[in-house]
Amino acid sequence: MTQTRPMEEAELPPGQRLCVACGLCCNGIWFSQTLISEDEVVPTLALGLTVRPPAADGQRSFSQPCQHHKNGCCSIYGSWRPNVCSSYRCALLIKMEQGAVSFDAALKTVETAKELADAILAEVGHVEGGLVGEAFQHLAHSAPEGNEHGLSPISRLNAGALRVIYLHHFDNPAESPAAAPTSRTGE
């Protein structure tokens, strides 16, 4: 039967429910930018997204957070989107779909990551660079002892914990949708 009403969240497949509950790959928490092809530059600009100048290797990207990610959902899901927006799957989603992680466990991991991110953002406000990428380098090391301008110790710990969660549960380097964190180590 043809679906004539929007699907309720509970009706979505588990993978989509997890993505709706998460959004960390779209909202600037994991990544500072999303990679696109040269052919996608013009239509991406037409979406109102901020396309960055070419990187040194010519790679194109648009800046995160994506303005079309609203209330946990992609507001242009049914329209044209850059290819990576529909193709990217984080490691947690893959593991859940393979049965290695239950939906409830995956959701718990997402919730923990979002709680950590919210706690950090509550102190620092907006950050540029993705909380596990360039921004992490700043957050984690901004407050050596005696630096009154730095983050609180708890937020620094939370930044490290968030990075650990990203690297252990979400990172999918084989299918990177975006500019990867600048360093893969915790330091």
Q: How far, in Å, CA of 81 to CA of 84, rounded?
A: 8
The interface with other proteins within residues 88-117 (CB under 8 A) comprises: 108, 112
14-25 as b/e: b if 16+ CB within 10 A: eeebbbebbbbb
CB nearer to other proteins: give 16 or 134. 134
For residue 138, state whether it binds other proteins (rule: CB under 8 A).
no
Q: Count of CB atoms within 10 A of residue 46's CB?
A: 9
Return the structure tokens found at 97. Answer: 């779909």
CB of 52 to other proteins, least distance (A): 29
CB nearer to other proteins: give 100 or 164. 164
Beta bridge partners of 74: 69
State the amino acid at position 50 in one-letter form: T
Beta bridge partners of 63: 33
Q: Quick one: which segment of 19-27, 90-98, 124-132, 148-156 binds other proteins (CB under 8 A)?
A: 148-156
* 149 burial type by CB count under 10 A (0-12 exposed, 13-18 middle, 19+ buried): exposed
C-alpha of 159 from chain center: 15
CB of 84 to other proteins, least distance (A): 28
The interface with other proteins within residues 149-178 (CB under 8 A) comprises: 153-154, 156-158, 160-161, 163-165, 168
CB of 101 to other proteins, least distance (A): 12
Under the rule (CB under 8 A), what is the footprint of other proteins?
Answer: 108, 112, 140-141, 144-145, 153-154, 156-158, 160-161, 163-165, 168, 186-187
